[in-house]
Amino acid sequence: FWQPGLTTDEIDKAVHQMIINNGAYPSPLGYGGFPKSVCTSVNECICHGIPDSRKLEDGDIINIDVTVYLKGYHGDTSATFLCGDVDDEAKKLVQVTRECLDRAISICAPGVNYNRIGKTINDHADKFKFGVVRQFVGHGVGRVFHADPIILHFRNNEHGRMVLGQTFTIEPMLTMGSTQPVIWSDDWTAVTKDGSLSAQFEHTLLITENGAEILTKC
Ligand code: MF3
Ligand code: CO
Ligand code: CO
């Protein structure tokens, strides 16, 4: 979809139209005062970037986080995309972040401790010396956009086990440097303190007899 000069506002418009055309509602729009229909997080932006008139440039990475409300339920998913010619280290960050989500999904099943998600993600990120952001978490999702359980993406000793029929997100954010967020005065945009790149992937999962079904798979 990317071409030089594309703005995040144009992405917002396209996503908004697509959602409305399918009889759904863009969950972010008006949520806690969020002004747009989708989050667009470019380069050092960790998450919750607000679409604007800034033009995407060759070499940028951008996470597009889409949540839709349809027939009484929210579905929440995001992916990081490459704009044109992205350097190898940034490509690696994006690839490893995707792998962290895939690996975390693969260990999910009834009775599994939530803290295995954090261990799986942190172990994989460590191999490549990427940082794992701690301040933003996965969450229960369904009739409500953000609900229990809280899903930590880093190594932890919290208790709690996955239950058959449960729906929640996993949405790891990995960085090339500092994992510390700075929130802009718009009260949403979270960027890395040192300006290092950040990537994120997210799916909504359903815990089934044998594992987890990805409800937001294309
Ligand atoms: N979709 C984000 C998440 O993964 C939440 C965005 S809240 C918003 O939880 F208000 F910024 F849209
Ligand atoms: Co989410
Ligand atoms: Co999301």
Residues 35-52 have pLDDT tens digits of 999 999 999 999 999 999
Q: What's the confidence (pLDDT) of residue 44?
A: 99
Q: What is the pLDDT of residue 103?
A: 99
Alpha-carbon distance of 117 to 154, in angstroms, equals: 8
Which whole number is the average pLDDT over 162-175? Answer: 99
**What band does 2 get if pLDDT is binned at 50, 70 and 90?**
confident
Ligand 1 pocket, 26 CB below 6 A? no
Q: What's the gap in Å between 134 CA and the centre of ligand 2?
A: 14
pLDDT of residue 218: 84
Per-residue pLDDT, 66? 99
Instruction: Please report the pLDDT score of residue 113 as a whole number.
Output: 98
Give the residue whose CA is nearest to atom 12 of ligand 1. Answer: 28
The answer, yes or no, to whether any atom of ligand 1 lies below 6 A from the CB of 12, is no
Give the per-residue pLDDT at 122.
98
Q: Which domains does the chain show, CATH number per domain?
A: 8-214 (3.90.230.10)
SS (H, E, C) the chain: CCCCCCEHHHHHHHHHHHHHHCCCEECCCCHHHCCCCCEEEECCEEECCCCCCCECCCCCEEEEEEEEEECCEEEEEEEEEECCCCCHHHHHHHHHHHHHHHHHHHCCCCCCECHHHHHHHHHHHHHCCCEECCCCCEEECCCCCCEEEEECCCCCCCCCECCCCCEEEECCEEECCCCCEEECCCCCCEEECCCCCEEECEEEEEECCCCEEECCCC
Q: Does pLDDT of 180 surpass 80?
A: yes
CB atoms near residue 34 (< 10 Å):
18
Mean pLDDT estimate for the chain = 98
At 199 the pLDDT is: 99
Per-residue pLDDT reduced to its tens digit, 73-88: 999 999 999 999 999 9
* pLDDT band of 27, cuts 50, 70, 90: very high
**pLDDT value, residue 1:** 72
44 ligand 1 Cβ < 6 A: no
Percentage of the chain beyond pLDDT 90 is 98
Distances in Å between the alpha carbon of 3 and those of 18, 57, 58, 98, 103?
Answer: 19, 8, 8, 23, 31
Ligand 3 ion: Cβ-proximal residues, 5 Å cutoff: 65, 76, 78, 202
